[in-house]
Amino acid sequence: MCINIANTYFKEPRFHNQIPVTDEPDHGIGVRSIISVIEKYNGIYAFFTKDGTFYFQACI
């Protein structure tokens, strides 16, 4: 199964080790959960931006 999600943004996302991060309280839990499931099933994933669009891609 492969997933490709794209969404525009107003504020440039910050990344740490190619993973989006935030300082907002109670935010970022979803990203950590997604990564946990993908890694559990030996999948691959990527988060990146290009031309004002945020992308998430994963394959399990």
pLDDT digits (tens, 9 = 90+) for 32-59: 999 999 999 999 999 999 999 999 999 9
pLDDT digits (tens, 9 = 90+) for 17-35: 999 999 888 888 899 999 9
Segments forming the whole domain that contains residue 28: 2-59
Burial class of residue 25 in the structure, from the number of CB atoms within 10 Å of its CB (0-12 exposed, 13-18 middle, 19+ buried): exposed
Single-letter amino acid, residue 22: T
Q: What's the pTM?
A: 0.87
Torsion-angle region of residue 51: left (phi > 0), alpha (psi -120 to 50) or beta? Answer: left
CATH no. for residue 52?
3.30.1070
The first and second tokens of residue 20, run together, are 């989006």
Residues 6+ apart with CB under 8 A from 53: 6, 7, 8, 9
Number of domains forming the structure of the chain: 1
